[in-house]
A and B are shown apart, each in its own frame.
Chain A
């Protein structure tokens, strides 16, 4: 399969890339290309110009900042996150999801930020970003702006990025306590999209939940933020009754479709089960005994 014809630009600075986007109507940014290139081959996408950002230095770093936030540059590959020895200490939710994104070969090439920009309702990273309250930093001709992920994604495969803006990094805000969390995904085989996935973020103050976020993958027409379920958790010590209530609230927040991956009821059941499992991992010892 061949994509439609396009012109290819490989700028070596962000400024050059942004001016190329501004000068060319129907231009598209190419980072890892693991969603864009298949879509171009199927002719679901046919940009006239591809602006390849892979030769721009300084976009491939990720790490904790002095203010406690965590930044992930636009060229950080899924595999960079999967193989990081320090990510788990700072961002357990992202560290848990990294090995479950696509398959090992796609992970060497595909990027975290590119995946969020692709805005596939079945994307794993969007759920993590929703759970963690993350933002995307976009750079355009007039400088940078920070956009919360729930505003950034405006619909399936749609974002609020302007035609002359590039998503340069993702930012996870500092935790207000000890950060805990995880990601669970049910897939029929490696590399498939999630039948259902749950991202959990907890900020613990001692054994009490100070802040919580739950993002759901593949169980609605967009990534779902299970806000009622996370509200149930705040102030609790993750006792069994709270966990059961959160699982029920998360399942109620979904609107899955029955398809070849499973029935709607099955997917709701998986979401409740995953929420229970993830929370049980972080249940304080005394709550388990009670």
Chain B
């Protein structure tokens, strides 16, 4: 099937070239960061993690969210997601790759990374992240690929593929729970040392990931003849909406515990992020941007007329994606380090070098995603009979067949 990624229109190759160039710039900058004697990041002893770990955390969530299409399809036999399941699984593959690359970029001694496997330490959340992320990468690559291959050959996927796909559901939940454990067990940082961290991670992941899936489905429909299906997209939009509402609810729970309880340490990070602490207000505009984007995204999705309009839906999904990226990325990391163990207040701004490497890693992820989507779309396009465009519009406009009729036709 890989050969399908090797043919494309010129715009496809231009896009590939751009991504490769950005990824190359990232590799080059990373090599400099490693080999130079001096330090090129904005990090320091009081803020030892920054943009890389923030993006890693966020992208594990995006990866985990594939479960939101896999679960309804495989567990509840929700057929409409059958067309987009592979798109969700391929997002997971690219997102996990991005997360792993961010970890690698962050390591001081990346050439020793295999020590994670040579000296397994089950007591460390990082060890479990390594095991689960690599497993999840292979799992989704295999499931997406085998499912697509079966579709291409007009045969149902093997029974064991279905069994493994059900296995991938708790796996997805556990990768992101383990990401939350990286933070939730640290007594040194009261801002993170809270049981809501795991649920909050899952909620924001199930908002951000499916929001990205909707945007990509819209893109796929524009650049190819494959239509992921309006009904499926609307269902995913409902998932995004409720997940985001739950996420906002969890964030507000944190405010109650911190401010009603009044713990100085616990409130310090929240003050730093949302109102400023001792004149340090760097994160305040960013956090309020996140809040405004998140809430407006939810409002748009709650109004049926807006949700059904493609432009509004795209806007809401983009807003929610960015809102969670700020909140669970930089907000989470910078907030946690706002007050050092010695009580000093720290600001952190990524340097140009960190930004170039981050863009490079995202470009590498986009490259993987483009190739995988190209293959998926090519397989799916082959199923669609060539039809004049006006006829196709007619087909799309026709009401969807009810489930019973489809079952009679043997499509289900």
Asked if A and B are interacting partners, one says: no
